[in-house]
């Protein structure tokens, strides 16, 4: 079970890091558009489509990465005070009641929606450039699959926690700034800076 969790976490990490490059593409494309529009007075016909496609892909494909890093939003004013076994039991129930029905719906409807778009080689109706939108719509299905895998790994993580009484450690390729400051300067000096 631990091997499966680590494999899914590494896949989620690879997807998150790969689609993180959308930020660079968004920055370059938007900067180019601003230059063309305001300096040369010659706006592009594709900038709007480019921005929502890259942002949409980034947003959707980073979900599994956030889940694998335990970075999703949680109202944890009660949760954080519970014992790990109780946390895992509640999370396990919530995954089956809320998470999996939504993700399965995303997979099923996303598959039909995206495969239809691919078969039509759908293009954007928002600009005269006719930018292909079928790749973004295919990302909807890929998002569902990646979230399904990440959710199954989290269920395994919950089962291990219920059995062992402690959470399985996570790969920490990214850390919060506060954590880095505390590690670097210690608790007293880190709080002062």
What are the per-10-residue average pLDDT scores of the chain (193 residues)? 92 91 92 93 87 90 91 79 92 95 94 91 83 90 95 96 91 76 72 50
Strand partners, 132: 123
Instruction: Report the alpha-carbon distance of residue 80 to residue 94 in Å, rounded.
Output: 16
pLDDT of residue 158: 95
pLDDT of residue 185: 87
Instruction: Report the alpha-carbon distance of residue 128 to residue 20 in Å, rounded.
Output: 28
Name 165's Cβ contacts closer than 8 Å, sequence gap at least 6. 83, 84, 85
* Domain count along the chain: 1
Backbone φ, ψ for residue 170 (5° rounding): -115, 150
pLDDT of residue 190: 44
Q: What residues make up the domain containing 93?
A: 2-192
Question: For helices 134-164 and 84-94, what crossing angle results, to 10°?
Answer: 140
pLDDT of residue 188: 56
Exposure on the CB side of residue 183, measured as CA atoms within 13 A: 6
């Amino acid at each position: 079970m631990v091997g499966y969790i680590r494999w899914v976490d590494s896949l989620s990490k690879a997807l998150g890091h790969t689609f993180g490059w959308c930020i660079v593409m968004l920055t370059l494309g938007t900067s180019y558009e601003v230059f063309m529009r305001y300096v040369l007075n010659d706006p592009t016909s594709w900038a709007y489509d480019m921005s929502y496609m890259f942002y949409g892909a980034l947003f959707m494909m980073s979900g599994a990465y956030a889940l694998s890093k335990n970075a999703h939003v949680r109202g944890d004013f009660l949760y954080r005070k519970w014992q790990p076994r109780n946390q895992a039991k509640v999370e396990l129930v919530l995954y089956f009641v809320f998470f999996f029905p939504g993700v399965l719906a995303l997979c099923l409807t996303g598959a039909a929606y995206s495969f239809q778009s691919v078969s039509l080689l759908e293009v954007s109706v928002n600009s005269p450039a006719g930018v292909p939108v079928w790749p973004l719509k295919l990302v909807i299905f890929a998002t569902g699959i990646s979230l399904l895998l990440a959710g199954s790994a989290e269920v395994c993580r919950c089962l291990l926690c219920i059995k062992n009484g402690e959470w399985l450690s996570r790969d920490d390729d990214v850390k919060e700034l506060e954590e880095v400051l505390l590690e670097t300067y210690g608790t007293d000096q880190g709080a002062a800076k």
